[in-house]
Amino acid sequence: KMESCFVRVFLLLVVCLSPTQACIQGFLLNVDFPGSDVVDMYSPSVEHCQELCTQHPSCLFFSYNRSFRCYMKSSSSGHPQSQVLLLGVTSGYSLKTCNLEPTLCFPQVFEDVEFHGEDYETFFTANFEECQRVCTLDPMCQFFTFVTGNFSSPDVRYKCHLKFSWFVPRPVAVVLKSGVISGFSQKPQLTQHFATVCQSHLFSNTEFRGNDFLESQAVSPEHCQFLCSVHPLCTYFSFSSNDFRCFLKNNPNSMVAKTKSNFTSGISSHLCQIDESWAKLTYRDIEFRGLDFRSEVVNFVDICQEKCTEDPNCQFYTYHNGSFFHPENRHRCYMKRVVTMPTPSHIRKVDNVMSGFTLRNCRSS
């Protein structure tokens, strides 16, 4: 049995390293790709890990272990430098080259597994199915954990924890830079079904003091307001135009405003068609730094935007125009993306809890 297992792994490795096979969809059981790590994230399954690798701009292959850790990796060749037999580890490749529709449906139920943190709402309910149903109906809910009736602490039994992770693209670094133009894919940022358009108002030269719970990067006050409106805990925000910092704040009981130059503040929008006009604009002398997954030379920024919109993987871009200080990089379009699939920040084994994902992305048969 040990000999046949080794032969089966060996044959799989031969297939995976075939230079004629660009798209590799399978998994290598009990095989580790050591080294070449780009980043590691928590993931509840190897299928989820593979989709994380596919969405991550730099990941080309990965290894996944029993501790729910997804190690995303890259190399100049596109293949691991080595493979070793290691029990409990499963490895595979990004599906970027496969031209497949993104797999955002994860119907699997994870028993005795907690998706820890990211709670924005809790309530008591009769069973796991009802918890998942509410998560699926709530557009902010990305995943959940349900505490069963056998949990050790009786006061939290039958409790449903709804959880959030970012599902809209966010550049991680927005900086001033001469000779560049940045913008977003023209694909809609959200799927919205509200008849009423949000009535937003921005307060110029105003800072809402304190109550910060999260800081992000944003390219404009309108972009910052969008991020606040899609986060279930954000009640209002302040944006610093000096360094593109977007401060998301939570306090439903009070809001204290102070005059401050170069700051713009506003209030979250609720149950209405959120304005996405900020995504239609281009931003001169602003770079979205990093997160490149490919680049090509084009003559105009409009073509760069079209290329990004046509590419299903591209969420935003930075274009180097004819005045860029490095001549060899002029007229180059850098296409970029971040992970936007539901992703718990921490996963751990806990007896008598059940976790899962929203089923909004699952197509009915």
Instruction: Specify the pLDDT at position 5.
Output: 41
DSSP state of 195: S
For residue 66, count other CB atoms closer than 10 A to its CB. Answer: 10
Instruction: Give the pLDDT confidence of 173-223 residue by residue, as tens digits.
Output: 999 999 999 999 999 877 666 778 888 889 999 999 999 999 999 999 999
C-alpha to C-alpha distance for 160 and 355, rounded to whole angstroms: 10
C-alpha to C-alpha distance for 280 and 29, rounded to whole angstroms: 45
CATH topology assigned to domain 27-93: Hepatocyte Growth Factor (3.50.4)
Nearest alpha carbon to residue 138 among 271, 293, 327, 276 = 271
Phi, psi of 64 (to 5 degrees): -130, 135
Note whether 146 and 258 are within 8 A (CB).
Answer: no
- Kindly report the CATH class assigned to 280-357: alpha beta
Helix (H/G/I), strand (E/B), else coil: 13: helix
C-alpha to C-alpha distance for 271 and 197, rounded to whole angstroms: 9
Q: What Cα–Cα distance (Å) separates residue 279 from each residue in 181, 219, 222? A: 13, 10, 9
**pTM reported for the whole predicted model:** 0.88
Cα angle 331, 333, 335 (rounded to 5 degrees) comes to 175
DSSP state of 154: G
DSSP state of 149: T
C-alpha to C-alpha distance for 30 and 336, rounded to whole angstroms: 33
Nearest alpha carbon to residue 219 among 307, 316, 122 = 316
Pairing of strands 257-267, 37-42: unpaired
The reply to whether 109-184 and 202-275 are identical in fold is yes
Name the CATH code of domain 109-184 (choices 1.10.3720.10, 3.50.4.10, 3.65.10.10, 3.50.50.60): 3.50.4.10
C-alpha to C-alpha distance for 329 and 177, rounded to whole angstroms: 14
CATH topology assigned to domain 202-275: Hepatocyte Growth Factor (3.50.4)
Residue 16's Cβ-count burial label (10 Å; 0-12, 13-18, 19+) is: buried
Kind plus residue range of the DSSP H or E element containing 174 = strand 174-184
Note whether 264 and 206 are within 8 A (CB).
Answer: yes
Q: Where along the chain do its domains lie?
A: 27-93, 109-184, 202-275, 280-357
- Scored b (16 or more CB within 10 A) or e, 257-271 reads eeeeeebbbbbbbee
* Alpha helix ranges (H) inside the chain: 2-16, 46-55, 128-137, 221-230, 301-310
DSSP string of 56-111, one letter each residue: SSS-SEEEE-TTSEEEEE--TTSS-S--EEEEEEEEEE--GGGTPPP-------EE
For residue 194, count other CB atoms closer than 10 A to its CB. Answer: 12
C-alpha to C-alpha distance for 82 and 80, rounded to whole angstroms: 5
* Residues of the chain where predicted confidence (pLDDT) is lower than 70: 1-21, 191-193, 363-365
